[in-house]
Amino acid sequence: MSSDCFIRAAAIAIFIGSAASSALGDITIPTVPIGNAGNAPDPTTGYGSVAYTYNIGTTEVTNAQYAAFLNAKAAADPFNLFNPNMAGPFGGITRSGSSGSYTYATINGRENNPVNFVSFWDATRFVNWLHNGQGQGDTETGAYPLTSTGISSNTITRHSGAIWAVTSEDEWYKAAYHQPTSQGGDGDSYWLFPTSSNSALLADANWGNVVGNTSPVGSFAANFYGVFDLAGNVREFNEAILGPDDAFRGMRGGSMYSSFFGNDLQADSRGFAYPTTEVEYYGFRVVQIPAPSSVALLAIGGVIAARRRR
Ligand SMILES: [Ca+2]
Ligand SMILES: [Ca+2]
Ligand SMILES: [Ca+2]
């Protein structure tokens, strides 16, 4: 069992802060490119090889980004994209109004904290919405075909044409631990911690329960690829299907509660959780996949341009 399976006292409903900025209009998800396509996997664990260049969310998905999604798609909220704990002391989003006309706002000072109390299915709906152009874009099709049987059997996988997606385990692992030896990395091109190091201090990330809550994304240093908060803050769902009866989804990177000893920030700690779990120390990160067709067109364009230059 992963260390996340211990019971945490749920956020008590002490309402703090006041409804602040409403989140309307299209959002931008900052990403950084992860190059070194075709890298070898970590010889210690077998993870981390990705054949293509992709862009990964610079940070965990934030309350402000998720609130914009809620305002676009959860006026009635039949899929429970909102969790009432989001309005509590560990969350960052409040809901007003009645079903059919719900509106959402971020809590003052927590706009840029990672969204939490979200399930893996909430994450797939968020990226379907991104894939479908935001606004009134569909949440049930696109990057992930979300059929009720697929959800109940936990068998849903990424569509090959996905533009946005929840990170795969290898995409997450590579962004977190990879750094080629030739580019200043460890001897085997993989670090043990997502901080591009083989050890981590409490000052390097939000972990060890020092902060005691989530912290604004980007509060700690970025790693080799320029990615923040892969270590700690919220633990992040990935697409991997694993565990007894394939009932779980992958989790990586540890959380604000991760222990300084025997911690789960490390590359050799493969975590998992039920895809329906919604707690204060779970969140997610997205990837943006450049369309193969546009890459091919660019290549063809390059050939044409080269021929014209002759
Ligand atoms: Ca939910
Ligand atoms: Ca190593
Ligand atoms: Ca994290």
Q: What is the CA(123)–ligand 1 centre distance, in A? A: 9
What's the count of helices (H) and strands (E) in the chain, helices before strands? Answer: 5, 11
Q: Please report, in tens digits, the pLDDT of each residue of the chain (310 residues total).
A: 343 333 333 332 223 223 333 345 699 999 999 999 999 999 999 999 999 999 999 999 999 999 999 999 999 999 999 999 999 999 999 999 999 999 999 999 999 999 999 999 999 999 999 999 999 999 999 999 999 999 999 999 999 999 999 999 999 999 999 999 999 999 999 999 999 999 999 999 999 988 899 999 999 999 999 999 999 999 999 999 999 999 999 999 999 999 876 679 999 999 999 999 999 999 999 999 997 655 555 555 444 444 444 4
Instruction: Tell me the C-alpha distance between 237 and 274, whole Å.
Output: 10
pTM of the predicted model as reported, rounded to 2 decimal places = 0.87
- The string of DSSP codes covering 60-121 is PPBHHHHHHHHHHH-SS-TT----GGGGSTT--EEEES-TTS-EEEEETT-TTSBP-S--HH
- State which amino acid sits at residue 178: H
Q: Which bound ligand lies closest to the C-alpha atom of 228?
A: 3
Q: What is the CA(222)–ligand 2 centre distance, in A? A: 19
The answer to whether 227 and 56 are in contact (CB under 8 A) is: yes
Q: Which of 126, 125, 66 is nearest to 91 (CA)?
A: 66
Residues at Cβ < 5 Å from ligand 3 ion: 229, 233, 253
Residue 197 pairs in a beta bridge with 193
Residue 160's SS3 state is coil
Tokens encoding 44:
């210690």
Q: What is the CA(33)–ligand 1 centre distance, in A? A: 29
Q: Which bound ligand lies closest to the C-alpha atom of 207?
A: 3
Q: What is the CA(244)–ligand 3 centre distance, in A? A: 25
- State which amino acid sits at residue 310: R
Q: Which of 162, 161, 160, 124 is nearest to 140 (CA)?
A: 124
